Structures are given as structure tokens and as C-alpha cells.
Amino acid sequence: MSGARRVVVLDYGFGNVRSAVRALEHVGAEVELTADRTAAENADGLVVPGVGAFAACVDGVRAVDGHRVIGRRLAGGRPVLGICVGLQVLFSRGVEHGVEAEGLGEWPGTVEQLKASPLPHMGWNTIDAPGGSVLFDGIEKERFFFVHSYAVRRWELPESERLRPPLVTWAEHGGDRFIAAVENGPLSATQFHPEKSGDAGLTLLRNWMKGLDT
């Protein structure tokens, strides 16, 4: 696979990692599933998956120094993509069953239970993407596959005149609006599973991989 973009899927014990690996390979990436810090720091792209409880996933990321890897990559402008709980752990805190846990703090905000029925929110749903989105270029009207009961329901990062604001994509379930994706320079994340979202999800991964060439 000469010339293929090298992508590491961070293996920290949580997440449907095999399906993510297969989807990335399908769109042309050379994929390594590993917790090795050097490999994760040096890859063209890093994917942080996640399934399960917020606190356990944060602990898992920290146990393999994933928080330091993410920080070093972002400091160097190197792309990172979070998926599902891999999006949630990037926020500052999570509250599940009344227990609060500290997140990685890349963005302010709280992961909390959706105020909707039924839960979990499981299945295909549309999204509301902002203009200029790279991830959703050409797929703004498509549906994506979600499975979660918790989400970030408010965007809390203050606007700055000096920095370009992140692009925030929203979705709605049972009348409750929540963050479906964020694009913030080299850091992107989706609440849904692109690897389970058919052709639309594969297109999103291709769109993300275009940023690995810059």
C-alpha cells in the first residue's frame, strides 16, 4: 500500500475497534491497531474509538498515555478523530448515574443522559451540519448510525475573535438536541459510528483522511 496514509486506531480496551479498522482500510488507509505511544504520535492520523461508560473510557485512555498522545498531536497540528465515547471523553466532564468523572478537557462541556425516550438512542438519524463542514462535505443530508444514551447537550466554548470557531454539528432524538460532531482544527469527533453508517460513513472517513495530506 505504497503512499497510503498511516492511521493508528488507539487500542485501550474499549470500543468496536475491528469495525473501525476495517472501515478505514476500506477507504485506503494503512491501519495499525495499537496502544504504542510512539506509533500513535507518529501516524498520519489517530482514531480514538469508544464504547461503554465515560469514566471507564477516560481511565482506559489515560492508562495507555492516550491523553498525552492526543495533546502532543494537537500541539503539532496532527489530525485526531474521536468516535462515540471517543468524542465524549474529549469534553471536560461526564455525569453518569449521579457520578461525575473528569474528561480530557479539550472542550468545555458535560456529557449527560439524554432527556428523551426511548433510550438508548439507537438507529439511523439525520444531522444538522454547519456550512463549511469538511467531514460532511457532500453528505449533509445523509443518515448516520447512533447508539448511545449520553451526549453533550450544550456547546460551552466561548467565542474568540482571535481563533476560528469550531464547527459543531447537531442531531435530535425525542425532542432533545445534542452534539453529533465537532470539527476543531486537527481535532474532529463524531457521536455516531461512521464505521457502521454505510456509504455515508465511509465518505465521512474519506473526507477526514483528506486532511491527513496537509
193 is catalytic: yes
Grid coordinates in use for 200? Answer: 455515508
DSSP state of 196: G
**Between β-strands 107-113 and 80-83, what pairing exists: parallel, antiparallel or unpaired?**
unpaired
In this structure, are residues 156 and 49 in contact, taking their beta carbons and an 8 Å threshold?
Answer: no
Please identify which of the residues 57, 84, 121, 142 carries the catalytic annotation: 84
195 is catalytic: yes
- The Cα–Cα gap between 13 and 167 comes to 29
**Choosing from 121, 148, 173, 193, which is the catalytic residue?**
193
CA distance 85 to 47: 12
- Return all residues near 214 (Cβ < 8 A) that are at least 6 apart: none
Cα of first residue to Cα of last residue in the chain, in angstroms, is: 19
* Catalytic residue of the set 106, 142, 183, 195: 195
10 Å Cβ neighbour count for 158?
6
SS3 of residue 90 by DSSP: coil
Query: CA–CA separation, 118 vs 121, rounded Å?
Result: 7
Is residue 172 among the annotated active site residues? no
Residue 92: name the closest of 71, 70, 110 by CA: 110
Query: Which residues are tagged catalytic?
Result: 84, 193, 195
